[in-house]
Structure 1
Amino acid sequence: MKKETHLLQVILRIFLFFLSINSINIVVISDSIPYTPKDNYLIDCGSSSPAASNIHDGKTFISDQQSPYLFTKKEIQISVPTATTNATADVPSPIYLTARIFVEESTYIFQMTRPGWHWIRLHFFPINNTDFNLTHSVFSVETNEVVLLHSFFISNNTKSIMKEYLLNISTEELSIKFFPMRESFAFINAIEVVSAPDSLISDVGSSLVPISYFSGLSSYSFQTMYRLNMGGAKITPANDTLGRFWDSDLPFLRTRALAKLISVSSSIITYTEGISPLIAPSLVYSTATQMADIRLRNPNFNVTWNFQIDPAFNYLIRLHFCDIVSKSLNELYFNVYINGKMAISALDLSSIASGLDIPYYKDIVVNSSSLFEKLKIQIGPLKQNTGLVNAILNGLEILKMSNSVGSLDGEFGVDGSTKPSSMVNHGTVTAFGFATMFGAFVGLGAMVIKWHKRPQNWDSTNNGFPSWLLPLQPGHSTIMNNSKTCIGSNKGGNGNIYSSSGLGRRFSFSELQEATKNFNQKAVIGVGGFGNVYLGFVDNGTKVAVKRGNQQSEQGINEFQTEIQMLSKLRHRHLVSLMGYCDEKSEMILVYEYMSNGPLRDHLYGMNLPPLSWKQRLEICIGAARGLHYLHTGAAQGIIHRDVKSTNILLDENLIAKMSDFGLSKTAPTMEQTHVSTAVKGSFGYLDPEYFRRQQLTDKSDVYSFGVVLLEVLCARPAIDPALPREQVNLAEWAMQWKRKGLLEKIIDTHLVGVINPESLKQFADAAEKCLAEYGTDRLPMGEVLWNLEFALQLQEASLQGKKEEENRAAAVAVAGTGPAVVVPTGYGNANEDSEPAQVHAIAIEEHSGTAMFARQLREINGR
Structure 2
Amino acid sequence: MAIPLLLLLLLLASSSFISAAPPTPPFSPQDNILIDCGAKSPATLPDGRSFKTEEQSTQFLKTNKDIQVSVPSADVPSPIYLTARIFTEQATYAFQLTRPGFHWVRLHFFPLKNNEFDLQQATFSVMTDKYVLLHNFKVNNNTNAILKEYLLNVTEPKFSINFIPMKNSAAFINAIEVVSAPDSLISDQGTALFPVDSFSGLSDFGYQVAYRLNMGGPLITSQNDTLGRTWIPDTDFLKDKNLARSFSVATNVVKYTDVLTPIIAPATVYSSLTKMADSKTMQPNFNVSWKFDVDTSFDYVLRMHFCDIVSKSLNDLYFNVYINGKMAISGLDLSSLTGELGVPYYKDIVVNASTMSGGLSVQIGPMNEKTGTVNAILNGLEVLKMSNSVDSLDGEFGVDGTSAGLGTKGTVAAVGFAMMFGAFVGLGAMVIKWKRRPQDWQKRNSFSAWLLPIHASDSSFMASKNSVGSHKSNFYSSTGLGRYFSFAELQEATKNFDSSAIIGVGGFGNVYLGTIDDGTKVAVKRGNPQSEQGITEFQTEIQMLSKLRHRHLVSLIGYCDENDEMILVYEYMSNGPFRDHLYGKNLQPLSWKQRLEISIGAARGLHYLHTGIAQGIIHRDVKTTNILLDDAFVAKVADFGLSKDAPMGQNHVSTAVKGSFGYLDPEYFRRQQLTDKSDVYSFGVVLLEVLCARPAINPQLPREQVSLAEWAMQWKRKGLIEKIIDPHLVGTINPESMKKFAEAAEKCLAEYGVDRPTMGDVLWNLEYALQLQEAFTQGKSEEEAKVQSATVSASPAPVAVTPISPSSDHRPVFKPEENKGPAEVQAIDDHSGTAMFAQFSGLSGR
Q: Pick the TM interval, shorter chain.
A: 0.5 to 0.7
**Structure 1's 470 and 240: CA in aligned 2 closer, same or farther, altered over 3 A?**
farther
Q: Counterpart of 1:648?
A: none
Give SS of 1:238's match. Answer: coil
Q: Does 1:176 align with 2:161?
A: yes
Q: Distance in 1 between matches of 2:488 and 2:212?
A: 35
Q: Counterpart of 1:352?
A: 337
2:295 to 298, 306, 310: 310
1:62 to 33, 52, 55: 52
TM-score by length of 2: 0.58
Q: Does 1:530 align with 2:610?
A: no
Q: Does 1:35 align with 2:42?
A: no
**Structure 1's 443 and 212: CA in aligned 2 closer, same or farther, altered over 3 A?**
farther
2:557 to 496, 500, 507: 496
Question: Which structure 2 segments of 5+ residues have no match?
Answer: 1-15, 413-466, 477-482, 526-553, 572-598, 619-623, 667-673, 684-693, 699-704, 714-744, 767-846
Give SS of 1:362's match. Answer: strand
Q: Distance in 2 between matches of 1:641 and 1:352?
A: 31
Give SS of 1:95's match. Answer: helix
**Structure 1's 712 and 211: CA in aligned 2 closer, same or farther, altered over 3 A?**
closer
Q: Counterpart of 2:628?
A: 556
1:497-646 paired onto structure 2 within 5 Å: 528-530=600-602, 555-557=627-629, 560=636, 562=638, 564-567=640-643, 570-574=644-648, 623-624=650-651, 626-627=652-653, 629-630=654-655, 632=656
CA deviation vs aligned residue, 1:319-350 (integer Å, no higher than 9, x gap): 11111111111111111111111111111111
Q: Does 1:120 align with 2:192?
A: no
Q: Counterpart of 2:88?
A: 103
Q: What is the identity, as a one-letter code, of the residue corresponding to 1:128?
A: K
CA deviation vs aligned residue, 1:334-374 (integer Å, no higher than 9, x gap): 11111111111111111112111111111111111001141
Q: Does 1:418 align with 2:403?
A: yes
Give SS of 2:331's match. Answer: strand
For the 8 Å contact 2:126–2:135, the answer to whether it is kept is: yes
For the 8 Å contact 2:335–2:341, the answer to whether it is kept is: yes
Q: Counterpart of 2:510?
A: 468
For the 8 Å contact 1:443–1:469, the answer to whether it is kept is: no
Give SS of 1:284's match. Answer: helix
Q: Counterpart of 2:318?
A: 333
Q: Distance in 1 between matches of 2:568 and 2:260?
A: 29
Q: What is the identity, as a one-letter code, of the residue corresponding to 2:510?
A: W
For the 8 Å contact 2:662–2:707, the answer to whether it is kept is: no
Aligned length: 558
CA deviation vs aligned residue, 1:750-793 (integer Å, no higher than 9, x gap): xxxxxxxxxxxxxxxxxxxxxxxxxxxxxxxxxxxxxxxxxxxx
**Structure 1's 401 and 706: CA in aligned 2 closer, same or farther, altered over 3 A?**
farther
CA deviation vs aligned residue, 1:606-641 (integer Å, no higher than 9, x gap): xxxxxxxxxxxxxx7xx22x23x34x45xxx57899
Return the offset for 1:41: 0.5
Higher-RCO chain (CA-CA 8 Å, sequence separation at least 6): 2
Q: Does 1:693 align with 2:710?
A: yes
1:710 to 731, 735, 754: 754
Q: Distance in 1 between matches of 2:625 and 2:763?
A: 23
Q: Counterpart of 1:438?
A: 486
Return the offset for 1:494: 11
Give SS of 1:389's match. Answer: coil
Q: Distance in 1 between matches of 2:51 and 2:191?
A: 38
Q: Distance in 2 between matches of 1:480 and 1:95?
A: 62
For the 8 Å contact 1:127–1:134, the answer to whether it is kept is: yes
1:320 to 305, 316, 319: 305
Q: Distance in 2 between matches of 1:660 and 1:419?
A: 48
Q: Does 1:222 align with 2:207?
A: yes
Give SS of 2:641's match. Answer: helix
Q: Counterpart of 1:46?
A: 38
2:280 to 289, 292, 295: 295
Q: What is the identity, as a one-letter code, of the residue corresponding to 2:350?
A: V
Q: Distance in 2 between matches of 1:313 and 1:130?
A: 38
Q: What is the identity, as a one-letter code, of the residue corresponding to 1:403?
A: N
For the 8 Å contact 1:180–1:186, the answer to whether it is kept is: yes
Give SS of 2:83's match. Answer: coil
Q: Distance in 2 between matches of 1:151 and 1:451?
A: 57
Q: What is the identity, as a one-letter code, of the residue corresponding to 1:81?
A: S
Q: What is the identity, as a one-letter code, of the residue corresponding to 2:696?
A: A
Return the offset for 1:275: 1.8
1:147-226 paired onto structure 2 within 5 Å: 147-226=132-211
Q: Distance in 1 between matches of 2:660 and 2:625?
A: 24
Return the offset for 1:560: 4.0
TM-score by length of 1: 0.56
Return the offset for 1:144: 1.3
Q: Distance in 1 between matches of 2:29 and 2:259?
A: 22
Q: Counterpart of 1:756?
A: none
1:379-458 paired onto structure 2 within 5 Å: 379-419=364-404, 428-432=470-474, 436=484, 438-439=486-487, 442=490
For the 8 Å contact 2:216–2:233, the answer to whether it is kept is: yes
Q: Counterpart of 1:145?
A: 130
Q: Distance in 1 between matches of 2:310 and 2:50?
A: 39
Identity in percent:
42
Q: Distance in 1 between matches of 2:275 and 2:79?
A: 38
Q: Distance in 2 between matches of 1:276 and 1:639?
A: 44
Question: Which structure 1 segments of 5+ residues have no match?
Answer: 1-22, 482-492, 508-526, 537-541, 575-619, 646-656, 667-676, 682-687, 723-864
1:231-246 paired onto structure 2 within 5 Å: 231-246=216-231
**Structure 1's 90 and 478: CA in aligned 2 closer, same or farther, altered over 3 A?**
closer
Return the offset for 1:555: 4.4
For the 8 Å contact 1:712–1:719, the answer to whether it is kept is: no
1:80 to 64, 69, 76: 69
**Structure 1's 189 and 359: CA in aligned 2 closer, same or farther, altered over 3 A?**
same
1:129 to 110, 114, 120: 114
Q: What is the identity, as a one-letter code, of the residue corresponding to 1:69?
A: Q
CA deviation vs aligned residue, 1:183-209 (integer Å, no higher than 9, x gap): 111110001101111111111111112
Return the offset for 1:433: 7.8
Give SS of 2:103's match. Answer: strand
CA deviation vs aligned residue, 1:729-753 (integer Å, no higher than 9, x gap): xxxxxxxxxxxxxxxxxxxxxxxxx
Return the offset for 1:134: 1.0
**Structure 1's 303 and 415: CA in aligned 2 closer, same or farther, altered over 3 A?**
same
Q: What is the identity, as a one-letter code, of the residue corresponding to 2:371?
A: T
For the 8 Å contact 2:626–2:639, the answer to whether it is kept is: no
CA deviation vs aligned residue, 1:798-823 (integer Å, no higher than 9, x gap): xxxxxxxxxxxxxxxxxxxxxxxxxx
Q: Distance in 2 between matches of 1:240 and 1:721?
A: 58
